[in-house]
Structure 1
Amino acid sequence: MSKATVSRVLNERPGVSPQMRQAVLTAIDVLGLERPSGLRPRSSGLVGLILPSLEDPIYPVFAQVVQTNLARLGYTPVLCIQNREGAGEDEYVGMLLDRGVSGIIFVAGQHSFTDADKTRYESLLAQRLPVVFVNGYMEGINAPFISCDDMAAGDLAVRHLAALGHRRIGLLLSSATNIADLRQAEGFCRAMRREFGLVDDNLIDVSFKGEEGGYAGAIRLLSKGVTAVVCASDLLALGAIHALSQRGHRIPKDISVVGYGDSNFMAYTAPPLTTVRQPILAMGAFTAQTLVKCIDGESFSAGESLFPPELVIRGSSGVRSD
């Protein structure tokens, strides 16, 4: 075989028959040389599932739904959970590639931030590795993206609170660069303009993730005289309720709180949390099916598939009392 043929195979260029391509790869293996990453054999039964954490209760539910649907389709997920002390997304991707996974599902990863570097994903696509992204979006990445309609979620929350008589409504975000938060803020502002003709930017607070972020942000919004708070996650909402209750405010008689996400636990908080539900079961099933279709070489629609949210009214929202 000629050097030109070997070069075409190694650089994945056309003009080489399947038989000759396999002969070149066999020779590389026999000589003990390392194949380029894009030509390494993949484990047909394994796929990577990278989650941001398990702190938010919607992520364990999502992982379970994905796992169940992948198993039905003959695949097993390798679960990778990020945390502050452990491996990050890039480290997990390297480990998954070493295992030869057939594809990777990224959930609320680096792709969910406006300031993220997309070259990490372009590299995976150049290796022809099937990937699916959940909760977030990146222009120029030719892969399926699956999200809840965050803009509609922000709109739903304001519509609900406005119907209860609230006008001074605060918005509590976890990040200024998270795409889901920014979209929810856009829906919030759109609804505030529609309902009241204006948006008070002072009532939009950017805190940080988790209950602690909700606690800190709620104290700041409380000082601005809000009668209701829309939160970008259920954990933020739980932290907000804790802070408001500690300061003697009754939920929802004095202040209403609305979250975003919804897991089974939210019906048993004190008070039960009014929230905008993400359709985790439908999103998880669709994510698994989409990845397997990509692995099987079926065509897919690049771009974003949005799932509609649903308002779930419980005990943390009520009629404005004054």
Structure 2
Amino acid sequence: MQIDRPRLADLAKHAKVSIATASRVINQKPGVAERTRRSVYTSAAELGIEIPGLETSKQPVAILTPELNNPSFPAFAQNIDTLLAANNRPSILCPAGPEGTTEAQHVQMLLQMNISGAIAVSGMPADTLSSVAPYELLINSGVPVVFINSYSSDLAATFYSTSDEEGVKAAIAHLSSLGHQKIGLAIGSIRYLPSQRKREAFHNAGFEAASVSTTDYTVEGGQLAANKLIAAGHTAIICGSDMMALGAIRASNALG
């Protein structure tokens, strides 16, 4: 394949390789490391340079999520898939669960597949006690990875997160406008970055540690946290997840 030299130079610069290497990849020549080849393919796709014989649009994007019994994660997956489909990109859904395939196992399998990228929702980087080594291998193989609501300085990836601080502030403002002064916060384990961010925002708003209950991001965890906070005199509770909110409602209803 022949493309004009300025265009080839743009591709080489974008992929951070030499013009000679970019040319070898474009023309499907041997002698290029797989990671480098994938990097050039990714840059070509982003720059709109088509490579004959390489159907990059047919290479799927993996969507990795936690368990799908949490209604938030199917919603994420559905919206991501819709956006990918609008750009002629097929997807592979990889849900992790305590009794099924783990996130790390999914990533290991993806290393053996020809994917064009991966999007991880609330993945392992959100857990400060979890190893990100599987993702390092995936990224080092040349696969671009985007993380949503997680972060690790050890990964050369793209990260997007909702603002836990703004969410907590908005919740406090709303509950305060309803007349509540004794407000509690129910969150999952502090090992998770979203929990840390929510707790920090809550403390910065002037609330004491006694008004925070940490359990886990489940219905049962929300119910346990709510029982503790209600018993301590709290009249309103900010929940760290939808599942915890369902548990808090269950606890409140049980107490009348």
Q: Same fold (TM over 0.5)?
A: yes
Contact 1:152 1:184 in 2 (8 A): no
Cα displacement (A) at 1:37: 7.3
Measure, in 1, the Cα distance between the counterparts of 2:112 and 2:134: 16
Q: How does 1:69-84 map to 2 (within 5 A)?
A: 69-84=83-98
- Structure 2 counterpart of 1:132: 146
- Structure 2 counterpart of 1:145: 159
- Structure 1 counterpart of 2:202: 188
Counterpart of 2:238 (choices 230, 233, 237) is: 230
Contact 1:153 1:187 in 2 (8 A): no
Highest relative contact order (Cα 8 Å, sep 6+), 1 or 2? 1
Cα displacement (A) at 1:115: 2.4
Return closer, same or farther for 1:146/1:190 CA change in 2, 3 Å cut-off.
Answer: same
- Structure 1 counterpart of 2:254: 246
Cα displacement (A) at 1:219: 1.1
Unaligned regions of 5+ residues in structure 1, if any? Answer: 1-12, 27-34, 194-198, 249-322
- Structure 2 counterpart of 1:176: 190
Cα displacement (A) at 1:200: 2.1
Unaligned regions of 5+ residues in structure 2, if any? Answer: 1-16, 42-53
Return closer, same or farther for 1:233/1:128 CA change in 2, 3 Å cut-off.
Answer: same
Which 4+ residue blocks in structure 1 deviate beyond 3 angstroms?
13-26, 35-43
- Structure 1 counterpart of 2:209: 201
Cα displacement (A) at 1:120: 2.9
- Structure 2 counterpart of 1:217: 225
Measure, in 2, the Cα distance between the counterparts of 1:126 and 1:98: 13
Measure, in 1, the Cα distance between the counterparts of 2:190 and 2:228: 16
- Structure 2 counterpart of 1:262: none
Q: How does 1:239-318 map to 2 (within 5 A)?
A: 239-248=247-256
Return closer, same or farther for 1:244/1:229 CA change in 2, 3 Å cut-off.
Answer: same
1:88 aligns with 2:96: no
- The TM-score normalised by the length of structure 1 is 0.63
Cα displacement (A) at 1:50: 0.5
Structure with more helix by fraction: 2
- Structure 1 counterpart of 2:8: none
1:159 aligns with 2:159: no
State the percentage of identical aligned residues. Answer: 33
RMSD: 2.7
Contact 1:172 1:218 in 2 (8 A): yes
Return closer, same or farther for 1:84/1:14 CA change in 2, 3 Å cut-off.
Answer: same
Contact 2:65 2:121 in 1 (8 A): yes
DSSP 3-state at the match of 2:204? helix
CA deviations on 1:190-221 (whole Å, 9 max, x unpaired) are: 22x2xxxxx22111000112111111111111
Measure, in 1, the Cα distance between the counterparts of 2:169 and 2:108: 39
Contact 1:205 1:221 in 2 (8 A): yes
1:57 aligns with 2:71: yes
Measure, in 1, the Cα distance between the counterparts of 2:109 and 2:121: 17
